[in-house]
Amino acid sequence: MQYIKKHKIVQEIKFHELSFNINLMNKAIKAIILIVTIVLIIGISHDEYGVIFSKVTIFWAVILAIYSSFIRKPKFHDDK
Q: Over the stretch 43-53, which tens digit does the pLDDT of each residue have?
A: 666 656 656 66
Q: Give the structural domain span for 60.
A: 2-70
pLDDT at 63: 79
Residue 77 falls inside a structural domain: no
Instruction: Please write the tens of the pLDDT for every residue from 5-54.
Output: 666 666 776 776 777 777 777 788 888 888 877 777 766 666 566 566 66
Measured in degrees and rounded to the nearest 5, phi and psi for residue 70 equal -80, -20
- Which comes out higher in pLDDT, residue 59 or 76? 59
Fill in the amino acid letter for 73. Answer: K
Nearest to 68 by CA among 77, 57, 60: 60
Provide the number of structural domains found in the chain.
Answer: 1
pLDDT at 80: 45
Q: What is the pTM of this model?
A: 0.39
Residue 76 falls inside a structural domain: no
